[in-house]
Amino acid sequence: MTSSFLKPVIIIAFGEEENLGVGYLLSVLAGKGIPGRMIDIRYEKEEILGAIRREDPVLVGFSVIFENCLDDFARLVRYLRSSGVGCHFTAGGFYASLYPEELFRFLPELDSVVRFEGEYTLPDLVQCLMTGSEWRNVQSLAYPGNGKTIRTPLRRLERDLDKFPLPVRGRPGEYVPGLPYASLITGRGCIHNCSFCNTREFYSQAGGPVKRIRRPGEVVREMHRLYAENGCRIFLFQDDDTPVKVEGSNGWMKLFCDEIERQGMLGKVIWKINCRPDEIEAETFSMMKSYGLFLVFVGLEDGTDEGLKALNKKMKVSASRRGIGILQQLGLSFDYGFILFQPESSFASLRENIRFLSGMCSDNLIPMAFLKLIPCFGTRVERELRESGRLRGRPGKLEYSFRSESLDACWTSVSHCFAEWQWGREGVVNLAKWLRNYIAVHDYFRKPDRDFDHYRTAYMETVTGSNRYLEETMSGLFDYYESGDYLSDSGRRMEEAVVESEQVNQLYSGRLKEMLTSLRDESWR
């Protein structure tokens, strides 16, 4: 049966960034002659319904990666069913794979769940649906039956990721005007087992190695194809942990860098990675920089040895300081993850962490950024909070209380003051990071330019001022809530802090937006 006679597959997923997981599924389907495409769940539901009615798919898949998007998928699934869409509905992703029973309770409209990696399972399911075969015999499925969830035997994960065809991609976006970028992976999984992350749990249950790495030559060939066909010059590796070190050696990275030169891309492309601070070594990262490394995301998470131990990071703060120091000496830009508020936080730990964060950011002229730990499903943190009775809410809306009411009140105040500043698209942190990225790209691709220096100076002044305000305000809030003064002033201090922080955010974000607008008007080709 040729593809022209086959009904298509539609996968609904978040499409803000390149969705490589869906891209791989679509490429495997295409290789079997099965047409398919992705629809962004952020489209209007009427638009999605219209596309489904026009294309009459054999199956609609929902990529439920994270539980915090459950409500969005639930509203859409129920709308589609109530509007008469009767084809097979399946779901996949981390949450769907690990908790199919919960997902069926939450979304009874689903017919099945494709568990763990779907490159082999989804085509088998589609072919059964097209031919009228018994799809319930397909491996790695879960489906409701007789009041319970039935799971078929799991197939083992594909060990050789390079057997999969390259992912289907849309038109590349531009990292800066005139310079297209692409996301890609060097592997899947992670050998570490941090208490707040469920990556290892996902791959362990799937019955395969917890980390698989592609061949460096294949990764660079994918980069070369994207460079030659789409003009991509900036590559963002999305692995949880890029293979800077494999079994204690930097051999993979050396081969990768050699391939960049061998395939004629040295000096033509730049790339960003994710890694741990204790993997950063001067010799390796100096080499990587000379072959195009321009940005490093570092999982710091905590600035105390006690906090790192609680998160099961299996490293010390000294390793973080050493790794960041090496990046600083090499002149490499970096971003970082930092979980300031955690279930076991105290005012003492908050102060120590804010001092660590302030010192690191001041030394490196980067924005202070932090998060509250999210109790993701399947993690040690989630299990411990559930067992202790501190976890509340429902899937997609799970929350917890701190050890004291004053800390709960403090977090509420901090989030009211700095939500837009820290996590908003138009907030200081996001805009400062983008301006920093523009500067890093400029420094790599363009000759020194005195006219550009005023952007660099203005960026440094803005980040320095905003960081100083953030540290002083946060420290003041810690003192205020620990003292208990908040109990007697009817929330007046919090209201004043919210108003002031919003005004300061507008001031600094306004400056950053002006600089970004000016930079976007320049030619980067």
Backbone angles phi, psi at 271, to 5 degrees: -150, 155
Give the tokens for residue 34. 């099965």
Q: State the SS3 of 273-326.
A: EEECHHHCCHHHHHHHHHCCEEEEEEEEECCCHHHHHHCCCCCCHHHHHHHHHH
Residue carrying structure tokens 């799809």: 135
* CA–CA distance, 219 with 242 (Å, rounded to integer): 12
Residue carrying structure tokens 């002659």: 33
Amino acid at 208: G
Q: Which of 33, 36, 84, 30 is nearest to 63 (CA)?
A: 36
Q: What is the DSSP letter of 381?
A: H
Pairing verdict, β 141-145 and 148-151: antiparallel
In the structure, what pLDDT confidence band is assigned to residue 107 with cuts at 50, 70 and 90?
Answer: very high
Higher pLDDT, 5 or 324: 324
The CATH classification number of 3-151 equals: 3.40.50.280
Q: Could you read off the pLDDT of 112-143 as tens digits, one per residue?
A: 999 999 999 999 999 999 999 999 999 999 99
Q: In the chain, how long is the greatest CA-to-CA distance?
A: 75
* CA–CA distance, 215 with 255 (Å, rounded to integer): 9
Residue 65, pLDDT score: 80
Q: Which of 462, 418, 456, 423 is nearest to 437 (CA)?
A: 456
Query: Does 3 have pLDDT greater than 70?
Result: no
Coil/strand/helix, residue 13 = strand
Percent of the chain with pLDDT over 70: 98
Helices and strands (H and E) in the chain: how many: 18, 18
Give the tokens for residue 482. 């620990």
Give the tokens for residue 315. 């490293």
pTM of the model: 0.94
Q: Report, as an integer, the average pLDDT of 9-33.
A: 93
* CA–CA distance, 98 with 100 (Å, rounded to integer): 6
In the structure, what pLDDT confidence band is assigned to residue 397 with cuts at 50, 70 and 90?
Answer: confident
Q: Could you read off the pLDDT of 474-492 as tens digits, one per residue?
A: 999 999 999 999 999 888 8
Percent of the chain with pLDDT over 90: 83
Q: Could you read off the pLDDT of 267-305 as tens digits, one per residue?
A: 999 999 999 999 999 999 999 999 999 999 999 999 999
Contact call for residues 7 and 57 (beta carbons, < 8 A): yes
Q: Could you give the count of Cα atoms lying within 13 Å of 441 in the half-sphere of its Cβ?
A: 27
